Amino acid sequence: MARIPMMAGNWKMNNTIAEAVVLAQEISNHYEKEWRECVEIVLCPPAIGLKPVLTVLEFDRVRIKVAAQNVHWEEKGAFTGEISVPMIEEIGCSYSIVGHSERRGLFNETDEMVNKKVRSLVKGGLGAIVCVGESLAVRDEGRALEFVCAQVRAAFAGLEPTEAHSLLVAYEPVWAIGTGRTATPEQAEEVCAAIRATVADLFGAPVAAAMRILYGGSMNPGNAAALLAMEDIDGGLVGGASLDAKSFVQLVEACL
Ligand code: PEP
């Protein structure tokens, strides 16, 4: 079964509601009907922009989905500043990013927390885009594959194969995020293939063959085609280049 590529734009803490609506509208204006069956497009605005962006996309009747950048694992309670799976589900989100390296690094998110978030999303019927990736120090020690595959195992611990259909992995080497330094297609493919083998070990070969594995880390319209041509790379999770409608649209087109 062919995997439909995903192009997801992680806007991070950028764009006020007004700016988010303008960017979503610009992307929507470029929407082509032929994209419908060929690529899954996802926008990940800050939490406050989720509903306004979705409203633009729904009004235009374009098949572009919306994802949260983060979510808490509890459904409700005394967790000041957090939002839960039922809350983003109510808005109309299809996915949440989980375990982005900025959350792991800046907000002390552990593998255990990532696992709880993934399980909460699965329980709530939403998809999870699970970020994994090694630091430069780990890569230089020759431990990139071991490190990343351990992150995948930890993120998916306790899940059944039947629960894996809504899961994606985004391989995002920390040294490539926002640095302008991209992994070579061969470097990225080596890790993505190892991730797929790990998923096969956890959930079986058919689940691994169907699961989409994205690359993220300074992906842009100039380098996307070579990365997307790799056997085990099924799309992109893109930060900087997703903040400009023209370049995001070019990234979507690179998936066709
Ligand atoms: C990201 O934040 O997920 C990312 C890949 O950022 P950038 O494309 O800017 O490197």
Within a domain: 41? yes
Our mutation pick for probing the ligand 1 site, out of 13, 175, 218, 220, counting the most ligand atoms within 8 A of Cβ, is 218
Within a domain: 30? yes
Residue pLDDT, tens place only, 167-200: 999 999 999 998 888 899 999 999 999 999 999 9
The single residue of 100, 109, 134, 189 carrying the catalytic annotation is: 100
Q: What is the CATH number of the domain that holds 218?
A: 3.20.20.70
Residue 194 belongs to domain spanning: 6-254
Our mutation pick for probing the ligand 1 site, out of 97, 102, 219, 227, counting the most ligand atoms within 8 A of Cβ, is 219
% residues pLDDT > 90 (the chain): 97
> What is the rounded average pLDDT of the residues 202-221?
97
> What is the rounded average pLDDT of the residues 216-236?
97
Q: Is the dihedral angle over the CA atoms 206, 123, 4, 97 positive or is it negative?
A: negative
> What is the rounded average pLDDT of the residues 195-206?
98
Phi and psi based region of residue 84 (left: phi greater than 0; alpha: psi -120 to 50; beta: remaining): beta
> What is the rounded average pLDDT of the residues 73-88?
98
Residue pLDDT, tens place only, 14-45: 999 999 999 999 999 999 999 999 999 999 99
Is 109 tagged catalytic? no
Structure tokens at 21: 């609506």
Within a domain: 157? yes
pLDDT in the model for residue 149: 98
Within a domain: 166? yes
pLDDT in the model for residue 178: 85
Q: Are 40 and 65 in contact (CB under 8 A)?
A: yes
Q: Count the domains in the chain.
A: 1
Within a domain: 186? yes
DSSP-derived secondary structure for 89-136: HHHT--EEEE--HHHHHHS---HHHHHHHHHHHHHHT-EEEEEE---H
Is the pLDDT reported for residue 1 higher than 80?
A: no
pLDDT in the model for residue 45: 98
Within a domain: 1? no
- Which residue, judged by its Cα, is nearest atom 8 of ligand 1? 239
Average pLDDT, the chain: 97
Residue pLDDT, tens place only, 123-139: 999 999 999 999 999 99
The single residue of 40, 102, 134, 172 carrying the catalytic annotation is: 172
Q: What is the pTM of this model?
A: 0.97
pLDDT in the model for residue 54: 98
Is the pLDDT reported for residue 95 higher than 70?
A: yes
Q: Three-state SS string across 177-236, please?
A: CCCCCCCCHHHHHHHHHHHHHHHHHHHCHHHHHHCCEEECCCCCCCCHHHHHCCCCCCEE
Report the chain's terminal Cα–Cα distance, integer Å. Answer: 17
> What is the rounded average pLDDT of the residues 216-232?
97
pLDDT in the model for residue 5: 98
pLDDT in the model for residue 35: 95
Within a domain: 128? yes
Within a domain: 171? yes
Ligand 1 touching residue 219 (CB < 6 A):
yes
